[in-house]
Chain A
Amino acid sequence: MAHSHAHHADDHAHAPIEDADGPSSDSVVLEQALRELLIEKGVFTAADIRREIDDLESRGEAQGARLVARAWVDPGFKERLLDDVAAAAAEIGIDLSGYALTRALENTEHTHHLVVCTLCSCYPRGLLGPPPLWYKSRPYRSRTVSEPRAVLAEFGTALPDDVAVEVVDSTADLRYLVVPRRPAGTEGMDEEALARLVTRDSMIGVAHPRPA
């Protein structure tokens, strides 16, 4: 019988997908029991949970980038953003209710901010979505506070000698979003185009925004 399909050389080169088929941990069992009980009691529905997960996972850096781009073109908005992130976000249709209190940190010609959570992985999820794996890694969490310039260099980010680095360790109830400096040569670009220059990494502080 003739082959009805071609065999590719790498048919079996893919690593197997790991399935966690062992017994569930205590916290998994607890979560399931609590969730089923609360659904049974009518506190919320399974669809409510699905919607919340979908909302959390669908947030990416676009929300944060829109805030930064608006701040770049509108000095009044920038001041409102520095004063109250949630209120400023609401002005442009971003809903941060249910997310932790967030504060914006403005990079200037004198100061570059770099955000870390040494204790766990606190992160402005409402504006940037889930954090990258490296942000949650022990090397990043431990080295950023003690040798921030070495960490920046490893991310390929150079800073002039006369710019001070301020590391911000989100140790408590607040989350932090860096407002990077507007790149040179972007005069006349509209907000949408400017937002495309604002990367997640520039809002954490490990990188600069994309150049014009």
Chain B
Amino acid sequence: MTGPGRLAPGTRVRVRTASPRTHCRTPHYVRGREGVVVRHAGDFPDPERRAYHHLGLPAVPLYHVRFAQADLWPDGRAGDTLTLDLYGHWLDPIGA
């Protein structure tokens, strides 16, 4: 089910390069990297606000995103992939 602003599976995205001093769940190794949305994993309370005694509502969208290992590491093996769950506000769609 899609909603306004929802990233569809197959959408190419770039992870933001922000370095917030507050809590976040975007590992450094994917910041600034390009990947592909596999699926919308659901909407969940925002952990970046929950960490500070906030309910984290309204819920924010979470996406399962796939990266090529060769794009993440100097010795990343061609054909190998890595997926992780990233919140929508960390992802910028690329291209049309």
Contact = CB atoms under 8 A, between A and B. Distances in A.
B83 A166 contact: yes
Interface residues of A, number: 20
A164 B85 contact: no
Interface residues of B, number: 26
Contacts of A101: 42
B80 A146 contact: no
A169 interface: yes
Nearest to B77: A149
B85 A170 contact: yes
Contacts of B37: none
Contacts of A118: 27, 29
Nearest to A148: B80
B18 to A, nearest CB: 16
Interface in B39-96: 41-42, 44, 47, 62, 64, 66, 69, 72-73, 75-77, 79-87
Given A103-B41, A170-B85, A171-B25, 11 more contacts: A101-B42, A119-B27, A145-B29, A145-B82, A146-B29, A146-B72, A147-B75, A169-B82, A172-B62, A173-B44, A174-B85
Interface of B: 25-27, 29, 41-42, 44, 47, 62, 64, 66, 69, 72-73, 75-77, 79-87
